[in-house]
Amino acid sequence: MVIKIEGLDFAYGAGKQSVPVLKNINVTIQKGMITAIIGQTGSGKSTLVQQLNALLKPTKGTVQIGEHVVTNKTKEKELAPIRAEVGMVFQFPESQLFAPTVLEDVMYGPKNFGATDEEAKKAAKTALKRVGFDATLYEQSPFNLSGGQMRRVALAGVLAMNPQTMVFDEPAAGLDPQGQEELLNLLKSLRDEGKTVVLISHQMDQVLALADRVLVLKDGEIAADEPVDQLFSRPQSWFAEQHLDLPETIAFQKQLEEKGFVFDGLCKTVPDLAKAIKKQLDPTKIQTLGSTISENGEANHE
């Protein structure tokens, strides 16, 4: 399912009080890809993704979601099928848990879309298993869980509905490194199954590791829409203008380039960067300098 946004403007409120948020957006979210949306706080990211499942309707222009076309005239009752096709995981989704037990909380979505109790339970268990949730805690109240476990329950709630497209707003914020890695693997596996994944993230390392394509928003307009490698090849000054950081590996690579190192393309991971650096070091210098360091246990900070 492709999502195509054409000539979209969006403003909160109407008339004199209206606050324009998105201006002249033309983008296509490709099927079976991970598209990252990045931009400074207030650039319109969360408002844009709410157009993807018609939680917000465009003020001007159209959003085509698979078979459905949404304009500002589309009636509320026509939007229900879209919500089943596009799942939305909001920021800190654990704040929206509500049911007395974990299992009931995850079953709520499928039941809401017409599944029987039995089907919903099956879907819920499959989803909970997929996010690595401990099966012995299914009957616990979700409010007694740690933050990381609550996040898993909230994610399972959306997975259980099995939508074709899933939108994640800062899904890894507040998770520990292991939790972050599990989450990134989940997003990759969804993509590999042919699902369309949209990711909002402030963490550029995550975007670099995951995204196929990146949309950059600035003040409600698209500042870039390109493959991830192309984006991160842009100069540091461009990222500074967007108030964005570079991923750590690439920022360090650029720092070394200023000191005369030469790299062939982008180093996406720490091991890749280490390998590329090592090739350019002088073994004799490593021996002399390396041994002085090991003798006195201190680096030469200058």
Partner 1 sequence: MTDAITIKNLTYSYPEQGQLFDNFSLSIQEGEWLSIVGHNGSGKSTLAKLILGLLDFDEGEIRVFGQKLQLETLAAIRSQVGMVFQNPDNQFVGATVADDVAFGLENRQVPSEEMPAMIEAALKQVGMAAYADREPHTLSGGQKQRVALASILALQPKVIILDEATAMLDPEGKQAVLQTLKQLKERYQSKLTLIMITHDMEEAALADRVAVIDDGRLVENEAPRALFLKGQELAALGLALPFAMALQKDLAIDQPVYRTKQELATWLSKLKA
Residue 114 binding partner 1, by CB under 8 A: no
Active-site annotation, residues: 170
Q: Which is nearer to partner 1, 85 or 232 (CB)?
A: 232
Instruction: Measure CA 293 to chain center.
Output: 42
Q: Do residues 110 and 163 lie in contact, with contact meaning Cβ atoms separated by under 8 Å?
A: no
Tell me the per-residue interface mask from 195 to 224 with partner 1, x by CB under 8 A, - otherwise: -------x----------------------
Task: Determine how many CB atoms are found less than 10 A away from the CB of residue 270.
Answer: 12
Q: For residues 189 and 174, give the distance between their C-alpha atoms in angstroms, rounded to a whole number.
A: 22
Q: Do residues 9 and 24 lie in contact, with contact meaning Cβ atoms separated by under 8 Å?
A: yes
Stretch that binds partner 1, among 66-74, 107-115, 213-221, 277-285 (CB under 8 A): 277-285
What's the min distance (Å) between Cβ of 81 and partner 1? 32
- Looking only at residues 7 through 36 of this chain, which bind partner 1 when binding is defined by CB under 8 A? none
Q: What's the number of CA atoms in the CB half-sphere (13 Å) around residue 293?
A: 9
- Looking only at residues 140 through 159 of this chain, which bind partner 1 when binding is defined by CB under 8 A? 140-141, 144, 146-149
Residue 185 binding partner 1, by CB under 8 A: no
Classify the C-alpha dihedral 101-102-108-111 as positive or negative: negative
Residue from 7, 194, 227, 271 touching partner 1 (CB under 8 A): that is 271
DSSP structure string for 75-139: -GGGSHHHHHHEEEE-SSGGGG--SSSHHHHHHHHHHHTT--HHHHHHHHHHHHHHTT--GGGTT
Stretch that binds partner 1, among 64-72, 81-89, 214-222, 284-292 (CB under 8 A): 284-292
What's the min distance (Å) between Cβ of 82 and partner 1? 28
Residue from 78, 176, 229, 241 touching partner 1 (CB under 8 A): that is 176
Q: Which is nearer to partner 1, 146 or 189 (CB)?
A: 146
Tell me the per-residue interface mask from 238 to 267 with partner 1, x by CB under 8 A, - otherwise: -----xxx--xx--x--xx--xxx------
Q: For residues 268 and 265, give the distance between their C-alpha atoms in angstroms, rounded to a whole number.
A: 9
Q: Which residue has the tokens 């500074």?
A: 240
φ/ψ (deg, to 5) at 94: -65, -20
What's the min distance (Å) between Cβ of 159 and partner 1? 19
The closest alpha carbon to 200, from 90, 55, 64, 87, belongs to 90
What's the min distance (Å) between Cβ of 286 and partner 1? 5
> Rule CB under 8 A: which residues touch partner 1?
40-42, 91-92, 95, 140-141, 144, 146-149, 170, 173-179, 202, 243-245, 248-249, 252, 255-256, 259-261, 270-271, 273-275, 277-278, 280-282, 285-286, 289-290, 293-294, 297-302
